[in-house]
Amino acid sequence: MGSQHCWVMVVMFGFLFQAQLLNSQNFACNPKDLTALQDFMANLTTQLEDWASPIDCCEWEGITCEPPSSGRVIKLELSQKRLSGKLSDSLAGLDQLKIFNLSHNFLEGSLPKSLFHMPNLELLDLSSNDFFGPFPESISLPSIQILELSSNSLNDSLPSHICVNSTRIRSLNLADNFFSGDILPGLGNCSSLEQLSLGMNDLTGGITKDIFQLQNLTILELQNNDFDGKLNPGIANLSNLVRLDISSNNFSGEIPDVFSQLQKFQYLVAHSNKFVGTIPNSLSNSPTISLLNLRNNSLVGSIVLNCLAMVNLNSLDLGGNRFNGTLPDHLPLCRQLNNVNLGRNNFSGEIPESFKRFHSLSYLFLSNMSLHNLSNAFQVLQQCKNLTTLILTLNFHDETFPDDPNLVFDKLKVLAIPNSRLKGSIPQWLRNMTSLQFLDLSWNHLSGTIPKWFGSYRDLFYLDLSNNSFTGVIPKGLTELPSLIFDNISLDKSSLIVPLFSRWNESERGLQYNRFCSFPPTIDLSHNFLRGPIWSEFGNLGRLHVLYLKFNNFSGPIPGTLTRMISLEKLDLSHNDLSGTIPTSLESLTFLSKFDVSYNQLHGRIPSGGQFQTFPSSSFEGNDLCDDHWISCQEGISITDKGQKESMENSSLKEGFINGVAPGIIFGIVSSTVCINLYFKDFIPKFLSKWQ
């Protein structure tokens, strides 16, 4: 019985060994593929560790081979591996390859022609690299379904022949390159095309009729080009179209009233063009539209939407047009409407009472209009229980900031009312906005002290109270903001198509951010009448990026503890009464790109290490500071006095020349003249007598 068991064990072991042997043979790398892969790696300047090992190439990182017996490579996937170098033509040897993905690397050079003649290739993704040059002239990819070449530096004209031998292609993405000229005929042959992305190039002309033949097209992206002329009504032929992005072009004329024929249409992004007229009825009555962005055009009239029909409308951006009258009071009837931007139009009056029932509203942008009655606006909008973002820039001019203790905005995360010349002080009811993350009350006429309870905001990461008339000292609570001490900022990173607002700064016309969390963590108290010291506790704010305290009356030393603000990028303490020296420990702030302490009462040596090597001398002028490069630093000569010193040195040189050198020269000339006269007086008679 025991021998029978042994025999069974031997047989089973044999089968297992044979299975293992067959399995290893099944995945043995094909020699042809191995050569192609080795040549591919030889052309890269970065290496993959296991590719250099003697193990079967089917087990290399990013490689998938096809069983059961061929061992042929069918997938090469090395996205985001920081690869650099050029692609080899030998890749054509991988003739069974189906998936080829080298996206998000640092590869460069021209596209290998052989790569576009691979019969089994279904997905080719070389996006987000540094490839340049024209598209290959000859293409034969009969199996290709996804061709992704976006975010490179490819140029010349778009390939018109891409669909001749690649009729199965479903997604073509050539966005963010340098292609120029018109869209050439030929794309109509891509009958299976579902997504066409040509945005962010230099394309001109109009949308060719070829594109309107693509009955399966669901996404058409042509944004950020130089297309012009009227939008062709043929767009209605794209019966499966879901998303159309033609933003940032030069389209003009009226928007064609054809969208009722698009039964699946959900997203229209047509901002930053030259469209005129009114919103077409087929859009204002669309039951499928979810996002309507017509910002920055020249549309006129009043806004009339059939909210009872527009049951899916979620985001409405009509900012930067010429709409007039009063704000549309029927918008709360759009039950799904979440994001509303009506800023920079010609609306006037008050926020409608109907907005009290705007329960779906979360983001409201009403900047740069002629609205009035801020007190009533707050009374109405506090009823919007889901409101998280409120932008009221450049409105309610010369009104007083309401101080109604009954106001409650418990979900509000963003409040911005800058540039409105508001009077009064910061009201107590703001203390109850426990979710506040972003507060901008800059460029007003607010006065009084900054409340101590500002330190109770758990999530506040951006505070701008600049250009007001605040007095007193900085409350120490600002040095205790948890979101600027710990990395626990729970920002709302939901994707918004509409920009929050344009944030003005000193160096640029304006900045538009798509999400408020894109703003750097900031405390800006500049241009007020604040006094007292700069608290050493500011060093606790290790997450703060920007600290602006310029143009105040701060005194005392610059705290050396600021060196603990390890994320600090910009520090401006100019135009105050600060004294002492600049702490050399600030040299360790490796992210510091701007530093300004000009026009204070500082003295001593300017630190020379770290980022201080990059700051201009204007950052230190108006003090008694000196630089390592000047010997005069040891003599107490300041930057401010340098010019005076040079002038004095020049004057001293002139005076020394006049008082010392000049008399010597004059004496020398006179003496020489006398000697020469005496010499010639004796020499000439002798000379004449000799020759006579």
**Residue 563 within any structural domain of the chain:** yes
First to last CA, the chain: 157
State the Cα–Cα distance between residues 28 and 22, nearest whole angstrom.
10
pLDDT for res 160 = 80
Model confidence at 670, pLDDT cuts 50, 70, 90, reads: very low
pLDDT digits (tens, 9 = 90+) for 295-348: 999 999 999 999 999 999 999 999 999 999 999 999 999 999 999 999 999 999
Question: What does DSSP say about strands 195-197 and 72-77: parallel, antiparallel, or unpaired?
Answer: unpaired
pLDDT for res 164 = 84
pLDDT for res 80 = 95
Find out whether 407 and 378 touch, Cβ atoms under 8 Å. yes
pLDDT for res 516 = 66
**Residue 30 within any structural domain of the chain:** no
State the Cα–Cα distance between residues 476 and 674, nearest whole angstrom.
85
Find out whether 413 and 462 touch, Cβ atoms under 8 Å. no
pLDDT for res 499 = 44
State the Cα–Cα distance between residues 75 and 607, nearest whole angstrom.
55
Model confidence at 690, pLDDT cuts 50, 70, 90, reads: very low
Indicate which CATH number applies to the domain containing 491: 3.80.10.10
State the Cα–Cα distance between residues 289 and 259, nearest whole angstrom.
10
**Residue 146 within any structural domain of the chain:** no
State the Cα–Cα distance between residues 608 and 582, nearest whole angstrom.
11
Q: Count of domains in the chain?
A: 1
228 burial via Cβ count (<10 Å: 0-12, 13-18, 19+) = middle
The two three-digit tokens of residue 476, written as one number: 């120490």
Total Cβ atoms within 10 A of residue 129? 23
Share of the chain above pLDDT 90, in %: 73
How far lies 574's CA from each of 554, 597, 599, 608, in Å?
A: 10, 4, 6, 19
Q: What's at 654, amino acid-wise?
A: K
Which residues, listed in sequence order, are joined to residue 230 by a DSSP beta bridge?
252
**Residue 537 within any structural domain of the chain:** yes
Give me the chain's average pLDDT, please: 86
How far lies 316's CA from each of 246, 278, 365, 475, 561, in Å?
A: 16, 15, 10, 40, 47
**Residue 448 within any structural domain of the chain:** no
Read off the pTM. Answer: 0.83
Res 665 pLDDT > 80:
no
**Residue 501 within any structural domain of the chain:** yes
Closest by Cα among 483, 474, 560, 588 to 524:
474
State the Cα–Cα distance between residues 170 and 672, nearest whole angstrom.
101
Which residues span the domain enclosing 490?
469-638
Res 494 pLDDT > 60:
no
Total Cβ atoms within 10 A of residue 382? 18
Question: What does DSSP say about strands 389-391 and 363-365: parallel, antiparallel, or unpaired?
Answer: parallel
Between 358 and 68, whose confidence is greater?
A: 358
State the Cα–Cα distance between residues 72 and 626, nearest whole angstrom.
70
Between 622 and 163, whose confidence is greater?
A: 622
Lowest mean pLDDT among 5-19, 77-91, 308-322: 5-19
List, edge to edge, every strand of the sheet that includes 447-449: 447-449, 469-472, 529-532, 553-556, 577-580, 601-605, 624-626
Res 408 pLDDT > 80:
yes
State the Cα–Cα distance between residues 535 and 555, nearest whole angstrom.
11
Res 642 pLDDT > 60:
no
State the Cα–Cα distance between residues 576 and 598, nearest whole angstrom.
8
pLDDT for res 94 = 94
Res 685 pLDDT > 60:
no
Model confidence at 629, pLDDT cuts 50, 70, 90, reads: low
**Residue 53 within any structural domain of the chain:** no
pLDDT digits (tens, 9 = 90+) for 249-298: 999 999 999 999 999 999 999 999 999 999 999 999 999 999 999 999 99
Res 648 pLDDT > 50:
no
Model confidence at 513, pLDDT cuts 50, 70, 90, reads: very low
Res 565 pLDDT > 70:
yes
Model confidence at 69, pLDDT cuts 50, 70, 90, reads: low
